[in-house]
Amino acid sequence: MRLLLVEDDPDLSRQMKAILEGDGYAVDVSMDGEDGHFLGETESYDTIVLDLGLPIMDGVSVLTKWRGAGISTPVLILTARDGWSEKVAGLDAGADDYVTKPFKIEELLARVRALIRRAAGQASPELTCGKVTLNTNSSKVTVDGMPIRLTAQEYKLLSYMMHHPEKIISRTELTEHIYDQDFDRDSNTIEVFVTRVRKKLGVAIINTIRGLGYQLVDPEEQKTQ
């Protein structure tokens, strides 16, 4: 999963980026409204964390422009304490949720997880496909109840696929959602990751759709079709 963080406070943005990355997200950071607006409109994100008080273009204007352009990415706004009118303006401009500054990072992480789940149409934090279970809260993956150890990139790949079961996902789409902007992206490495994840899981839930990409399918359901 890939996030955009638009926050102009350098200390806060550095700290948040580190924590979000530690929680398994690829994170792009933008320090002003104009750059943030551009990234949000041109790149693929699973959720955007948007501060409202930003230089060059304020957060509500950024959000209004995104929504006007049909960008439906979930947006969590960061608002000032006592800023109830700011919250109303942000929600009315198309924000999906908000966190009031100062906030506990755990709250932000939980809200981001919930937004990603909801956007993917998943109500439960525990995603299941056949014998494979991925817990989005603990970032733990099990097969038949047995824990599986994945690297950060392998986890990102599986997590994206588990959030979008049965969807045919191209290599490009996977690349866009598991690497941040600065990463030297090579869609060939996706194949390597898929092979490794398949091997570690030991169950055939990732199908290759020739020429199109990959699809997560429960092998049991596939048999009965």
Nearest to Ca ion of 59, 130 (CB atom): 59
* CA–CA dist 100, 178 (Å, integer): 28
Stretch that binds Ca ion, among 11-19, 46-54, 112-120, 215-223 (CB under 5 A): 46-54
Rg (CA), the chain: 18
The sign of the dihedral angle between the CA atoms of 208, 127, 144, 152 is positive
CB of 178 to Ca ion, least distance (A): 28
Sign of CA dihedral 48, 49, 50, 56: negative
Binding residue count for Ca ion, defined by CB under 5 A: 3
**Which of 28, 35, 46, 51 touches Ca ion by CB under 5 A?**
51
- Regarding 101 and contact with Ca ion (CB under 5 A), the answer is no
Query: In this chain, which of 19, 24, 43, 53 binds Ca ion, going by CB under 5 A?
Result: 53
Secondary structure of residue 121 in the 3-state scheme: coil
Stretch 109-148 residues interacting with Ca ion (CB under 5 A):
none
- Kindly indicate which of the ranges 2-10, 17-25, 181-189, 197-205 contains the residues binding Ca ion, using the contact rule CB under 5 A: 2-10
Which of residues 83 and 130 has its CB atom nearest to Ca ion in the complex? 83
Q: How far is CA 114 from CA 33, 47, 117, 123, in A?
A: 25, 10, 5, 8
* Interface positions, 182-221, toward Ca ion (CB under 5 A): none
- Listed in sequence order, the residues at least 6 apart from 145 whose beta carbon sits closer than 8 Å to its beta carbon are none
Residues at the site binding Ca ion, with contacts judged by CB under 5 A: 8, 51, 53
